[in-house]
Amino acid sequence: MAVDDGARTVTVTPGRAAQELELGRDEFRLAVQLGLVRTVPAGESGRRRVERAELDRLRSAPDFPAGLRDRVHAIGTAEAAALLEISPERFTRLARTGHVSPVRFSLNRYRAVVWTYLAEDVATLGRACPALLSGRLPAELRERLAAHEDLRPRNWRARRLGVLLRATDDPWAQAAAMASMLDPVQVAEVVDDPYERAHLDRLRPSEPPGTPVRAPARDIAERLARADDPDEILWHRLSLALALDEARSRGPAPHPGDAGPLREGEEPPGARVPVRVRRQPVLTAAPSLPPGRSVPPARSAPPPVSTPPGPFLVPAGRPAGIEPPPSRTAARAGLLARLRRRRAGGGGRVGGRKRPMSWP
């Protein structure tokens, strides 16, 4: 048990709350997921606790504890079919066409998705649609099943989103809940501001209980948690855009510099982006001028566009002892002198042997 000195609010751990509510671990998690048991954040660790006043409210109900336990009683396909007195295959068809929404899912050892339903919802289906429990299914449902329609993932996401939206009054947290239904590419197309995307990512709701940890099963769970139908994606994109307008009207997302006063010599994050610039040497023309003209003094930093053209460009500030390269005419004259000397000597060495050199 813990006491919040600021508001004098007594809170208990989830394990203690489940014990006092006479619920099992999975039943308590489902009660929190459905919003039947309200929790509050406890410090900066991200963990949540249950207030003593919330426990008193639930325990004072006239049907406690049977009523609360019935509302969180979850069953699988076989139990649901037995409750409706139909075959499991027929119940699966009704669930695929959206007549009952799953409350959670799990993956078996073959990584097949196993859906779980609330017994209360299954009983409501039997009372509301008795004609679907016997006889041939209507033609419309048969056509949808022939087209491989399966609304179970979409209905589960809609139910989860409703729970997340009811769990908070913060408009930015509600926008983050809507963003969690879309993949990052879709979110980036709706939210242009990178600081707003980072804020939504910080407020992203936690993963559903029982999410696998290993990579193959985790990938399947992540795909189920995101919208995949074009109509559903469009709906969530529009909802996210409207939620962002509402959140921005209440207050902008935090930007760099909003975290508080900076220490001496410290810069706000993102204030300066380092850019690597390669320094280029300043080029000047080599002194290749006609006779009778003197070389003008070079300026210290001439603009690149005003550098006069020349046959050779050398870096300004050349170290002492390094002479500029000879002109093109001098280089050609030296080459001809070496060829004449080789011609006078009678040839050159190729492969260690002398051979006569032929000239045109």
DSSP string, 174-199: HHHHHHTTS-HHHHHHH---HHHHHH
Distances (CA, A) of 222 to 182, 195, 227: 11, 24, 10
125 and 160 belong to one structural domain: no
Q: Does the pLDDT of residue 297 top 50, yes or no?
A: no
38 and 113 belong to one structural domain: no
More confident site: 272 or 46: 46
Where b means 16+ CB within 10 Å and e means fewer, 29-56 reads bbbbbbebbbbeeeeeeeeebbbbebbe
Q: What's the pLDDT score for residue 111?
A: 86
Burial class (CB in 10 A: 0-12, 13-18, 19+), 11: buried
Structural domain includes residue 272: no
Please tell me the total count of domains within the chain.
3
Cα–Cα distance between 117 and 164 in angstroms, integer?
19
Cβ atoms of 161 and 243 closer than 8 Å = no
The secondary structure element, H or E, covering residue 335 is helix 328-345
Structural domain includes residue 22: yes
Regarding pTM above 0.75, the answer is: no
Structural domain includes residue 108: yes
For 332, the 3-state DSSP assignment is helix
Structural domain includes residue 317: no
Q: What's the pLDDT score for residue 306?
A: 35
Q: Does the pLDDT of residue 291 top 60, yes or no?
A: no
144 and 162 belong to one structural domain: no
Mean pLDDT, all residues of the chain: 77
Structural domain includes residue 139: yes
Beta bridge partners of 113: 107
Q: Which of 22, 40, 71 is the last residue of a domain?
A: 71
More confident site: 360 or 159: 159
Q: Which of 251, 283, 312 is the last residue of a domain?
A: 251
- Residue 176 structural domain: 153-251
Structural domain includes residue 187: yes
162 and 179 belong to one structural domain: yes
Structural domain includes residue 326: no
